């Protein structure tokens, strides 16, 4: 039996770890252009908004048989109509012009809008959150534009920390400001722990995901606890059977060595490389080893094809995507949605195959990895309130863990590289710290972390400045509630703007500067813990990321090992583009011109 596994039934091991926390607010640079009710809103139609352009094309559209037309436009409007109207919706291939579809869409959305507005009206004596005027049918979708995190940060400067917009027929409450977000997600955590019922969620793990799923009841809570325990046991909990302090250290040390080797080979052959595609392999191997042990197909084409293309997932699974709010977009040509669907299917097939292969030699007396731990639990028949959690609901947790475990960490390391090559003086400072504290005779270990405050400050500043997870995954309210004096009804969709917290002028003074020193205490030899806890990237409260500690440790270890041995640079004249590309996680444009020079060789 593996040492750590004995703690399987313990409560959240990670919560007692010494990792620094995070959280807080921001203000955008640009002016709010469309704040007054009734003022015209004419932003450029790009990004998500471009999807709406499709609505206005004069295309003949064919409705497949047995599709309920009414529900395509506004699913919630069904009960408003007599049953005879619903019967009309079954057809044998009937063609409609786009004008007819638009008209029908308009009528149903208007009816739904009136009903929703009436339903979401605050009870007497209470007030709804303020917000900008929205167009009939489309609401404020055009205002969100290509970068909803920036648009909503601008609106928060005018309307405050709790504001309301509408996308299509759906009202959305947007939260900004560290204190307000903490009040909602922590102090009123039960009220705000839900997830909305979004179309894109139904496409992830065939609707069985723990993360992207409207369930926030006892089954979700039990699944989350199982996932957290399995993850901690096979990543950050100490492993007495190994010379490394934990599985994570063992896997990262091995993968970082291999990564250094690959980078050197690429330098010898091509004289340059794209760090993203190299890092994603190593990070996937680490989470793959923790999830599946030796069953993980390390360099299979299928696996690499998936992990190299996670942008196909994150570009669509982003807050405010019109496809979640305009059901008609499910049926119109939408290449990004198609890529998303195909990515999810390929991902599920790959993981199901790997899980099945693992099951063949599963031995409940020798649990070596997360999947094994989940098998064991599903065999025991986990129960919630007397009923058994279905086996596939337990095993599917590995999809949530593997999916979250490679994309986020790769994105973080990749942003770090961008900041290192654009700020060579910062890179030199980190290397000086590594040389002084660790020297060159041995590789860095997790236990060195408290002695390397400048590297830690650099990682925190990378999190804050890039804010590469701009919003948490959307939340929803589980009951009628009030926040900052504003009434928010049950099942209201809530966006939490992490980017705004990380760029709040009041909190950071110079939020757009990249300055790791801001996180150092006055002595310069420790982290300013209070400030570090204001960086918000992992959510907070009941839905807080379950991989936060693992992520911080893994990023630290990869960076310390790589930077001890290699110096990264760009050839003279090459510029990198640091503009974040909006998504669930925001990437930067890839750069194939990275160079790495060995700082010293190991005898
Ligand atoms: C730098 C790396 C990471 C960042 C920035 C990050 C960020 C986040 C954020 C913002 C959320 C949503 C919180 C909310 O909805 O309020 C989340 C949820 C989640 N994260 Fe992470 N994450 C990271 C790494 C990981 C890793 C390594 C794992 C697992 C191996 C993981 C597993 C999860 C899971 C399962 C959830 C869903 C929790 C739930 O819905 O209850 N994350 N993460």
What confidence tens digit (pLDDT) does each residue in 497-534 have?
Answer: 999 999 999 999 999 999 999 999 988 899 999 999 99
- pLDDT of residue 306 exceeding 50, the answer is yes
234 with 88, same domain?
Answer: no
Q: Whose CA is nearest to atom 37 of ligand 1?
A: 211
pLDDT for residue 361: 86
Measured CA to CA, the distance from residue 381 to residue 390 in angstroms comes to 8
**CATH assignment at residue 275:** 1.10.630.10
Q: Whose CA is nearest to atom 40 of ligand 1?
A: 211
State phi, psi for 44 to the nearest 5 degrees. Answer: -65, 140
214 with 78, same domain?
Answer: no
Question: Ligand 1 in contact with 414 (CB < 6 A)?
Answer: no
- Of the candidate ranges 25-39, 269-283, 369-383, 568-582, the one whose mean pLDDT is the lowest: 25-39
118 lies in some domain:
no
> Ligand 1, closest atom to CA 211?
40
Confidence of residue 122 (pLDDT cuts 50, 70, 90): confident
To the question of whether residue 291 is assigned a binding role by annotation, the answer is no
Please state, for a pLDDT cut of 70, what percent of the chain lies above it: 82
Cβ count within 10 A of residue 133: 15
Question: Ligand 1 in contact with 404 (CB < 6 A)?
Answer: yes
pLDDT for residue 113: 66
Burial 575-597 (b: 16+ CB within 10 A, else e): ebeeebbbbbbbbbeebebbbbe
553 lies in some domain:
yes
Measured CA to CA, the distance from residue 438 to residue 445 in angstroms comes to 9
Cβ count within 10 A of residue 330: 12
387 lies in some domain:
yes
Bridge partners, residue 139, by sequence:
135, 167
Question: Ligand 1 in contact with 196 (CB < 6 A)?
Answer: no
82 with 225, same domain?
Answer: no
**Residue from 212, 39, 27 nearest 142 by CA:** 39
Q: Which tops the pLDDT comparison, 357 or 470?
A: 470
> Ligand 1, closest atom to CA 185?
16
76 with 216, same domain?
Answer: no
The answer to whether 318 touches 147, Cβ cutoff 8 Å, is: no
187 lies in some domain:
no
The last residue of one of the domains, among 92, 120, 147, is 92
- pLDDT of residue 55 exceeding 90, the answer is no
pTM of the model: 0.84
∠ at Cα 242 (238, 244), nearest 5°?
65
Measured CA to CA, the distance from residue 219 to residue 225 in angstroms comes to 10
124 lies in some domain:
no
pLDDT for residue 95: 63
3-state secondary structure of 360: helix
Query: Which domain range does residue 54 map to?
Result: 2-92
Q: Domain count of the chain?
A: 2
Confidence of residue 240 (pLDDT cuts 50, 70, 90): confident
- Of the candidate ranges 341-345, 361-365, 570-574, the one whose mean pLDDT is the lowest: 361-365
Measured CA to CA, the distance from residue 598 to residue 566 in angstroms comes to 5
Q: Phi/psi zone of residue 207: left (φ > 0), alpha (ψ -120 to 50 degrees), beta?
A: left
The last residue of one of the domains, among 33, 58, 92, is 92
pLDDT for residue 333: 94
The last residue of one of the domains, among 67, 92, 117, is 92
Give the pLDDT confidence of 317-346 residue by residue, as tens digits: 999 999 999 999 999 999 999 999 999 999
99 lies in some domain:
no
| Share in percent of the chain as helix, strand, coil (round to 5) | 50, 10, 40
344 with 477, same domain?
Answer: yes
Segment 271-281 mean pLDDT = 97
Confidence of residue 33 (pLDDT cuts 50, 70, 90): very low
pLDDT for residue 120: 64
Q: Whose CA is nearest to atom 31 of ligand 1?
A: 547
pLDDT for residue 454: 98
pLDDT for residue 395: 83
DSSP line for 91-117: -SSEEE-HHHHHHHHHHHHHHHHHHHH
Question: Ligand 1 in contact with 411 (CB < 6 A)?
Answer: no
State phi, psi for 273 to the nearest 5 degrees. Answer: -160, 165
135 lies in some domain:
no
Query: Which tokens is 62 given?
Result: 């064919």
Confidence of residue 603 (pLDDT cuts 50, 70, 90): low
106 lies in some domain:
no
Give the pLDDT confidence of 417-447 residue by residue, as tens digits: 999 999 999 999 999 999 999 999 999 999 9
Burial class (CB in 10 A: 0-12, 13-18, 19+), 335: exposed
Measured CA to CA, the distance from residue 151 to residue 87 in angstroms comes to 42
Query: Which tokens is 261 given?
Result: 């080797």
**Helical pair 453-466 and 548-565, crossing angle rounded to 10 deg:** 120
Task: Please name the residue that has the structure tokens 């759906």.
Answer: 170
Q: Which tops the pLDDT comparison, 534 or 7?
A: 534
70 with 218, same domain?
Answer: no
398 with 258, same domain?
Answer: yes
419 with 568, same domain?
Answer: yes
């Amino acid at each position: 039996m593996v040492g750590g596994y004995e703690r399987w039934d313990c409560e959240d091991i990670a919560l007692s770890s010494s990792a620094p926390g995070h959280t807080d607010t921001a203000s955008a640079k640009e002016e709010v252009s469309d704040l007054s009710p009734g003022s015209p809103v004419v932003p450029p139609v790009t990004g998500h908004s471009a999807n709406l352009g499709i609505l206005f094309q004069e295309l003949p559209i064919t409705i497949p048989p047995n599709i309920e037309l009414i529900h395509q436009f506004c699913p919630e409007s069904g009960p408003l109509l007599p049953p005879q109207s619903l019967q009309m919706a079954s057809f044998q291939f009937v063609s409609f012009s786009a004008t007819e579809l638009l008209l029908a869409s308009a009528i149903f959305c208007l009816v739904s809008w009136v009903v929703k507005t009436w339903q979401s009206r605050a009870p007497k004596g209470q007030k709804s959150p303020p917000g900008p005027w929205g167009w009939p049918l489309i609401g404020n979708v055009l205002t969100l534009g290509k970068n909803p995190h920036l648009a909503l940060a601008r609106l928060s400067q005018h309307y405050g920390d709790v504001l309301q917009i509408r996308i299509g027929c759906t009202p959305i409450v947007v939260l900004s400001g560290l204190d307000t977000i903490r009040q909602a997600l922590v102090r009123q955590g039960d009220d705000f722990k839900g997830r909305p019922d979004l179309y894109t969620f139904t496409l992830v793990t065939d609707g069985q995901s723990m993360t992207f799923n409207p369930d926030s009841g006892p089954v979700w809570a039990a699944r989350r606890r199982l996932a957290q325990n399995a993850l901690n046991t096979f990543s950050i909990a100490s492993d007495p059977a190994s010379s490394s302090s934990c599985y994570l250290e063992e896997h990262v040390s091995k993968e970082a060595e291999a990564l250094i080797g690959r980078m050197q080979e690429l330098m010898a052959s091509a004289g340059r490389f794209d760090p993203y595609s190299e890092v994603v392999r190593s990070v996937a191997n680490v989470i793959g080893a923790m999830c599946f042990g030796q069953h993980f197909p390390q360099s299979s084409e299928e696996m690499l094809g998936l992990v190299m293309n996670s942008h196909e997932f994150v570009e669509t699974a982003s807050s405010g995507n019109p496809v979640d709010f305009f059901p008609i977009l499910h049926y119109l040509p939408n290449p990004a949605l198609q890529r998303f669907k195909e990515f999810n299917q390929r991902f599920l097939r790959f993981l199901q195959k790997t899980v099945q292969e693992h099951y063949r030699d599963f031995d409940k007396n020798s649990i070596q990895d997360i999947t094994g731990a989940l098998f064991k639990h599903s065999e025991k028949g986990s129960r919630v309130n007397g009923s058994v959690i279905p086996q596939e609901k337990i095993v599917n947790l590995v999809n949530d863990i593997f999916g979250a475990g490679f994309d986020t960490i790769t994105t973080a390391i990749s942003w770090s590289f961008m900041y290192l090559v654009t700020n060579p003086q910062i890179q030199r400072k980190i290397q000086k710290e590594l040389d002084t504290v660790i020297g060159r005779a041995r590789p860095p270990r997790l236990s060195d972390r408290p002695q390397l405050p400048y590297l830690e400050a650099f990682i925190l500043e990378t999190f804050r400045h890039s804010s590469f997870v701009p919003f948490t995954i959307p939340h929803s309210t589980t009951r009628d509630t009030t926040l900052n004096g504003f009434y928010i009804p049950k099942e209201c969709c809530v966006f939490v703007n992490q980017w705004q917290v990380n760029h709040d002028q009041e909190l950071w003074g110079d939020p757009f500067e990249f300055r790791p020193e801001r996180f150092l205490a006055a002595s310069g030899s420790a982290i300013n813990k209070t400030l570090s806890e204001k960086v918000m990237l992992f959510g907070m409260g009941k839905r807080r990321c379950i991989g936060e500690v693992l992520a911080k440790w893994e990023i630290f270890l990869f960076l310390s090992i790589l930077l001890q041995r290699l110096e990264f640079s760009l050839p003279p004249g090459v510029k990198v583009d640091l503009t974040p590309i909006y998504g669930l996680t925001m990437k930067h444009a890839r750069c194939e011109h990275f160079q790495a020079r060995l700082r010293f060789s190991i005898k």
